[in-house]
Amino acid sequence: MVLKSLEIQGFKSFPDKTKIQFGQGLTAVVGPNGSGKSNISDAVRWVMGEQSTKNLRGSKMEDVIFTGTKARRSQGFAEVSLVIDNSGKTLEIDSDEVVITRKYYRSGESEYMINRTNVRLKDINELFMDTGLGRDGYAMVGQGRIAEIVQSKSDERREIFEEAAGISKYRYRKNEAERK
């Protein structure tokens, strides 16, 4: 599964619609301190359903919306879309390209979309389950995460292996079924 592009609008330091096209192979983001490199990875994390404001380096969800500068007015919403190459059908959706979108308004309202159709956050979480991507995936390794894994309790660490082995989905479905 390969990330094809990322579209950011009104998210953190990106007031204008900005499209980042990922090339083949490795992509490195370079730039001076404070230029928005980490905001790009925050956008990827966020669009995949991140709910922890701490992981997004903020204190409340509203902090993801462009706050404005002397020259620019603040934005009313933040929107991020991530285009994923799904030709390998890793995601259980019958299309070669999957676009996931998240939109958050200053009013506190949220929208999630899969291929431009409104869905619930639950659908985004289920889509990424066992793929390594997603909110709890291991594909995003943030600063301090390695130390956290090494120091975590054995059952917490097991969850990472379960995700990699592709069995978290079954545990999740079992729990869902038992809840009903």
The annotation places the binding site for ATP at 32-39
Positions touching ligand ATP (CB under 6 A) are 12-13, 31, 33-39, 63, 65-67
- The H or E element containing residue 35 is none
Residue with tokens 């990875």: 41
The CA radius of gyration of the chain, in Å to the nearest whole number, is 17
Q: Does residue 13 belong to the site contacting Mg ion (CB under 5 A)?
A: no
- The pair of three-digit structure tokens given for residue 34, joined into one six-digit string: 């404070």
Ranked by CB distance to Mg ion, the top (closest) residue is 38
- How many Cα atoms are found within 13 Å in the side-chain-facing hemisphere of 92? 10
Q: Which CB atom, from 122 or from 145, has the smaller least distance to ligand ATP?
A: 145
Q: Which CB atom, from 37 or from 106, has the smaller least distance to Mg ion?
A: 37
CA 162 to chain centre: 20
- State the binding partner of 63 from Mg ion, ligand ATP, none, CB within 5 to 8 A by kind: ligand ATP
- State the binding partner of 83 from Mg ion, ligand ATP, none, CB within 5 to 8 A by kind: none
